[in-house]
Amino acid sequence: MAHGGHGLLYEWTDLDEWVEWMGDWGLSRALMLWLLYIGLFFVLSEMVPNLWLFTFNWMVGTAPIWLPAALWIAGWMTWVWYIQSLYLSGRKPILLEVKMPREITKSPRAMELVYTAFNLSSGETTFIHRGWKGQVRPFFSFEIASFGGEIHFYIWCWNNYKNTVEGTMYAQYPEVEIVEVEDYASKFQFDPDKHNCWGVEWPLMSYIKGLNWTFKINAYPIRTYVDFELDKDPKEEFKVDPLAQVLEFMSNIKPYEQLWIQIIIRKCGKIGGILKTQEQDNLWKDMVEKEVNKLRAQSATVPKDVAEAVLEDMGESVDDPSPIRGQARPSWKHQQMIQSMERNLGKYPFEVGTRGIYWTEKELHGPTFTGFRWIWRAFGNPQYATHLRPRRWHCDFDYPWQDFHGLRWTNQTRRVHDAYRRRLFYHSPWILPTNILTNEVLASIWRPISSTIKTPGIERIPATKAEPPANLPR
């Protein structure tokens, strides 16, 4: 009883619990903390005479300590924002459409090899390159767009990486056709009187306590093509491809609707502030190994509550565990998790951000934006691993008091459209949370598709095009 009372008292006095509770009701956590701070300050002002004057004098008196540091940090962040923006403005982005052939016989492992060519860190070699020239490592966007049910596959990159994209794609998929096209996201003009929008991002999340929005969530991958046995070579009619579910949904929309998806990737690089002394991929490797060792430890012994239940069923004393000897064999769950994480350790890790937009010229269709939010459900395993869960942008509006006359909704629409057309996750003005995914995971959610996927909205080229032999007489 005392324990239960202590737990109830803890819940009523814990600030984190209150903040979480307010967030569940659609109230801003930042607003709540500010109101709490201001309220406590006013209460304190009733107890301390001339509190405002005392606070002002304290800030002025300690200004020689905190003001130079604040100005230096603000100045450095402003300089980095400016110099990186200047560098990015000098890049010429292009959009390449990947047209699908009638047949692709290779497994998704071919696309996994394609992604290895984009594991590039050029541009950030020294502090001079990063801090003075504003250079950043290249990033690429792999996109799927549906215009009224007509599906297109795109690759966005800088113009100087066009040959890299085409060379690696043709090396593994000579059947596809790659052509440069106009950027649909930049061409689109948002009109609040005409368009409705639903923006979303898909970070890795899990039902495992303590894994949400933490770095160690990246240790647990989603289900990949290997889990669906697409790395093997069964007949086309026997293949089960979860990407078919995604594309079928995107093709089944109205002519006045559009669905955009972008998967922005870049090589895991150095982190740690100005000097960037820590390698992100090494931190990820250590985290995966730590989680694997934790799972092995969990499966090596019987949990106390399980042992007590077994002893009671056996009619033995709970205080005497001698009837249980040896080690428990790892459960199927532990085996699958360990196997998946260790297999991905042998892959190339990428820093990845995934974003989507649903456009319509009429009212938002509930089943469409709900299905779009959970479009990656087929790849998820949230009960003991992870899934791509919808977050941010318009997902934050659940209650009518969160938005007055739709002002925030329209503002979020403009913001998500701007972030989408810029293809930004890593640099100002859109520095957003990302995850670490390997090329195996990426090959599962974006790749050229075989005839297993018979979605009618995908236009396939009628024949394979090839260059003439190089040894022809001139």
Q: What is the pLDDT of residues 333-368, one digit of tens each?
A: 888 888 899 999 889 999 999 999 999 998 888 889
- HEC-encoded secondary structure of the chain: CHHHHHHHHHHHHCHHHHHHHHHHCCCCHHHHHHHHHHHHHHHHHHHCCCHHHHHHHHHHHCHHHHHHHHHHHHHHHHHHHHHHHHHHHCCCEEEEEEEECCCCCCCCHHHHHHHHCCCCCCCCCCHHHHHHCCCCCCCEEEEEEEECCEEEEEEEEEHHHHHHHHHHHHHHCCCCEEEEECCHHHHCCCCCCCCEEEEEECCEECCCCCCCCCHHHHHCCCCCCCCCCCCCCCCHHHCCCHHHHHHHHHHCCCCCEEEEEEEEEEECCEECCCCCCEEHHHHHHHHHHHHHHHHHHHHHCCCHHHHHHHHHHHCCCCCCCCCCCCCCCCCHHHHHHHHHHHHHHCCCEEEEEEEEEEEECCCCCHHHHHHHHCCCHHHCCCCCCCEECCECHHHHCCCHHHCCCCHHHHHHHHHHHHHHHHCCCEECCEECCCEEEEHHHHHHHCCCCCCCCCCCCECECCCCCCCCCCCCCC
Q: What is the pLDDT of residues 143-193, one digit of tens each?
A: 999 999 999 999 999 999 999 999 999 999 999 999 999 999 999 999 998
Rounded Cα distance between 372 and 356, Å, is 8
Residue 393 phi/psi, 5-degree rounding, is 55, -120
In the predicted model, what is the mean pLDDT of residues 369-380? 92
Give the distance, in angstroms, between the CA of residue 316 and the centroid of all CA atoms in the same chain. Answer: 50
Instruction: Report yes or no: 143 and 268 within 8 Å, Cβ to Cβ.
Output: no
In this prediction the pTM is 0.83
**What confidence score (pLDDT) does residue 201 get?**
95
**What confidence score (pLDDT) does residue 3 get?**
42
Residue 36 phi/psi, 5-degree rounding, is -65, -45
**What confidence score (pLDDT) does residue 6 get?**
47
**What confidence score (pLDDT) does residue 186 get?**
93
Q: Which residue has the higher pLDDT, 41 or 222?
A: 222
Q: What is the pLDDT of residues 184-208, one digit of tens each?
A: 999 999 999 899 999 999 999 887 7
Q: What is the pLDDT of residues 448-462, one digit of tens each?
A: 988 777 778 788 777
